[in-house]
């Protein structure tokens, strides 16, 4: 049975915490916990919502525990350690990462500063806690195509949300690092290594250096300038500036292992902002995740580009 104490401690004591604790015990492979103001408490597993009743059982939505506005607000403040101001940078991005690599995203009424940037949120309406899992060996089926003798090949991991991209990157870091290579992780969301007071709470290997919460470009530059990594690992390339950071890393001589949301190889290659990565032959290998087999292994297709 999984230990969810690191998540449950952010819930206000009483019905919500008790119901959620019992519900998580009865759900296999929970992926997300959804708290929506004045709506039913739910947990996502296998991509489907399961509604949690007051006694912790799975039930129809109309019989589920209703999460109050006050409870949602209390959880938000607790996630920010009762100091919303101290979490300004995280709030601007719409999520905070808690110990263990769990990411809590939220929605509500944004408060903007004079420069137009989001400074905070009020009237929090929804919180989504994505449950992070460290699966040792997740990258083992693919590592032979990445580590070849004294060289590391660059790879892009592709999949729709929630199929294990971050899990695979984390385990790849561990395997490559423990093989004697210097690994640099540019972890702008704090999910890969899940650092706590400077120490990774996930096993990312013995020869790994991590920059957390910095924009990918700046984090990558710091690692290249100060840690001379053989490979840079980073999650979810989304913007043109992040594409540029990957180009710079590859241009410096380091290999790059990254991920991107996508449904197919063609889907990724056709996106205008991703095109420079393919035009410059940044990646040697593409890995498309499709889910898990019955034995729990990642179902994936690989395509070699070089």
Give the pLDDT band of residue 168 (cuts 50, 70, 90): very high
Higher pLDDT, 281 or 99: 281
The average confidence (pLDDT) of the chain is 90
Most confident of 1-5, 271-275, 288-292: 271-275
State residue 223's pLDDT score. Answer: 96
Contact call for residues 142 and 302 (beta carbons, < 8 A): yes
Q: For 94, phi and psi rounded to 5 degrees?
A: 90, 10
| Confidence (pLDDT) at 293 | 57
For the beta carbon of residue 66, count every other beta carbon within 10 angstroms.
16
Q: What is the 3-state secondary structure (H, E, C) of the chain?
A: CCCCHHHHCCCCCCHHHHHHHHHHHHCCCEEEEEEECCEECEEEECCEEEEECCCCCEECHHHCCEECHHHHHHHHHHHCCCCHHHHHHHHHHCEEEECCCEEEEEEEEEEECCCCCEEEEEEEEEEEEECCCCCCCCCHHHHHHHEECCEECCEEEEECCCCCHHHHHHHHHHHHHHCCCCEEEEECCCCCCCEECCEECCCCCCCEEEEECCCHHHHHHHHHHHCCCCEEEECCCCCHHHHHHHHHHHHCCCEEEEEEECCCHHHHHCCHHHHHHHHCCCCCEEEEEEEECCCCCEEEEEEECC
Residue 196 banded pLDDT, cuts 50, 70, 90: confident
Look at residue 113 in the predicted model and tell me its pLDDT. Answer: 81
Q: Which residues pair with 73 in a beta bridge?
A: none
Distance of alpha carbon 57 from alpha carbon 60, whole angstroms:
10
The residue extents of the domains of the chain are 5-130, 140-304
CATH class, domain 140-304, is: alpha beta
Rounded to two decimals, what is the model's pTM?
0.76
pLDDT digits (tens, 9 = 90+) for 208-246: 999 998 989 999 999 999 999 999 999 999 899 999 999
Name the pairing type of β-strands 195-196 and 199-200.
antiparallel
Q: Both tokens of residue 225?
A: 């300038």
In whole angstroms, what is the distance from residue 258 CA to residue 192 CA?
A: 12
Split at pLDDT 50, 70, 90, the class of 260 is very high
- 300 or 18, which is more confident: 18
Q: Which of 75, 70, 34, 72 is nearest to 52 (CA)?
A: 34
Which pLDDT value is given to residue 220?
Answer: 94
What are 88-103's pLDDT values in tens digits?
777 777 888 888 878 8
pLDDT at 82 exceeding the cut of 90: no
Q: In this structure, what are the phi and psi dihedrals at residue 129, rounded to the nearest 5 degrees?
A: -100, 110
172 pLDDT exceeds 70?
yes
How far apart CA 82 and CA 79 sit, in angstroms, is: 7
- The residue-averaged pLDDT of 184-208 equals 90
In this structure, whether the domain defined by 5-130 belongs to CATH 3.30.450 is answered with yes
Question: Is the pLDDT score of 43 beyond 80?
Answer: yes
Q: Are 258 and 156 in contact (CB under 8 A)?
A: yes
Place of tokens 């980073």: 234
Q: Identify the weakest region by mean pLDDT among 99-103, 156-160, 229-233, 278-282.
A: 99-103
Res 297: pLDDT: 63
Using the predicted structure, report yes or no on whether residue 207 has a pLDDT greater than 80.
yes
Q: Alpha-carbon torsion 169, 32, 274, 264, what sign? A: positive
Q: In the structure, what pLDDT confidence band is assigned to residue 194 with cuts at 50, 70 and 90?
A: confident
The pLDDT value given to residue 290:
82
Question: What is the structure's pLDDT at 120?
Answer: 76
Residue count (the chain): 306
| Strand duo 285-292 + 155-159: pairing | parallel
């Amino acid at each position: 049975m999984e230990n969810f104490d690191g998540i449950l401690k952010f819930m206000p004591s009483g019905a919500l915490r008790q119901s959620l604790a019992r519900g998580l015990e009865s759900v296999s492979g929970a992926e997300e916990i959804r708290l929506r103001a004045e709506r039913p408490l739910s947990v996502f597993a296998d991509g489907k919502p399961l509604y949690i009743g007051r006694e912790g059982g799975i039930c129809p939505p109309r019989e589920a525990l209703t999460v109050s506005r006050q409870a949602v607000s209390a959880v938000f403040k607790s996630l920010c350690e009762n100091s919303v101001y101290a979490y300004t940078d995280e709030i601007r991005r719409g999520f905070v990462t808690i110990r263990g690599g769990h990411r809590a995203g939220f929605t509500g009424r944004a408060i903007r500063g004079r420069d137009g940037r989001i400074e905070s949120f009020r009237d929090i309406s929804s919180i989504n806690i994505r449950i992070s899992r460290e699966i040792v060996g997740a990258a083992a089926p693919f590592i032979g195509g990445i580590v070849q003798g004294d060289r590391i090949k660059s790879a892009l991991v592709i999949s729709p949300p929630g199929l294990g991209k971050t899990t695979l990157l984390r385990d790849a870091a561990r395997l490559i690092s423990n093989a004697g290579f210097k690994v640099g992780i540019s972890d702008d969301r704090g999910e890969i290594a899940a650092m706590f007071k400077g120490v990774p709470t996930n096993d990312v290997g013995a020869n790994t250096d991590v920059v957390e919460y910095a924009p990918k470009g700046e984090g990558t530059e710091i690692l290249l300038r100060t840690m001379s990594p053989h490979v840079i690992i980073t999650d979810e390339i989304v913007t043109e500036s992040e594409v540029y950071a990957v180009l710079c890393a590859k241009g410096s001589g380091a290999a790059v292992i990254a991920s991107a949301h996508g449904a197919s190889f063609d889907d990724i290659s056709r996106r205008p902002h991703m095109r420079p990565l393919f035009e410059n032959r940044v990646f040697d290998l593409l890995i498309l995740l499709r889910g898990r087999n019955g034995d729990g292994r990642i179902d994936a297709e690989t395509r070699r580009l070089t």
